[in-house]
Amino acid sequence: MAALQLYQWIWPLCQPNRRRPADKPMAVLGLGMPRTGTESLKAALEELGYATYHGFEPAGNPGDCVTWCNLIERKKKTKRDMTMTTTKSAGRGGEADALTANDFDKVLGHCQAVSDTPSICFADEMIAAYPNAKIILNHRPDIDAWKKSISAVVGRNEALIGIVVKKLLVLFSPELFWLQQHVNRIDFDTLWRGDIVENATTVYKEHYAHLEKIAPPERTLRWCVQDGWEPLCEFLGKPVPNKPFPHKNTPEEQQKVLAKRLWPLARDAILRFILTTVAVTAGGSWLWARWR
């Protein structure tokens, strides 16, 4: 947490402080893994009237990343505290710092549904925080095909973002810096345990096994995109739309979305880098000429 506070001082960004209207409670928790139709589910839920927070949202609202990073550190700290000691006083302290609906609503208060990361990394906490929300375990029937999909996306994203953005430009852009912190702390470290391709299958299986154990059956639907509208609408108590089920976020579409959202940030960071380089060079030249 101390490191995050220092980062917030060096790379400041305004954090969201959204409020949930009393008549728009959190209604749907889409807790399936990435590349299991999460964007298609978002489109379907929005067609049914639920504003939905998806994994692309932080890229368009980098201030959200600061909040998500703080939330994941609180989650980890609470877990460490509860693991390291069994004393009653420490137990009460851990419970007191447990994440609540008020914590999540600061970033999710404008939405009635979630899908994809970062929300799935807080599945346990969200199931407890929103006891009336219905849970959708969107999945892919073929795990091998899913792994190929996630591996291909990793390769494309690495090629798109590149070492220059990850190591250099992030230092000149608070938005890019916090997006990188978000990816590292939540996706890479927490969800994928440090290696996406190597751990993909294990993480996938353990994620669903855990959720099927803790998610109340009466609140839960196991669903895949191929199932379409009918089981989803029946589960949510909504009429079936008179249109084809949406199929979104092909690898090509994902690249376009990321490029569209990241390029303006990268462009501004490049400009700051150039201005900083010119200023430092000019200042150094002046000092050299004055003191030699």
Domains and CATH numbers, the chain: 16-157+175-252 (3.40.50.300)
Neighbours of 271 (CB within 10 A): 12
Tens of pLDDT, residue by residue over 1-37, are 678 989 999 999 999 999 999 999 999 999 999 999 9
Residue 279 pLDDT:
76
Higher model confidence: residue 227 or residue 152? 227
Please state, in angstroms and rounded to a whole number, the distance separating the CA atoms of residues 174 and 278: 20
Tens of pLDDT, residue by residue over 82-124, are 777 644 544 444 455 789 999 999 999 999 999 999 999 999 9
Question: Which region holds residue 85: left if phi is over 0, alpha if psi is between -120 and 50, else beta?
Answer: beta
Tens of pLDDT, residue by residue over 153-194, are 776 666 556 555 667 788 888 999 999 999 999 999 999 999
Over residues 272-281, mean pLDDT:
77
CB-facing half-sphere around the CA of 40: CA atoms within 13 A: 25
Residue 92 pLDDT:
45
Residue 67 pLDDT:
97
Residue type at position 50: Y
Residue type at position 133: A
DSSP 116-160: STTGGGGHHHHHHH-TT-EEEEE--S-HHHHHHHHHHHHHHHHHH
Neighbours of 106 (CB within 10 A): 17
Residue 157 pLDDT:
63
Phi/psi at 141 (5° precision): -60, -35
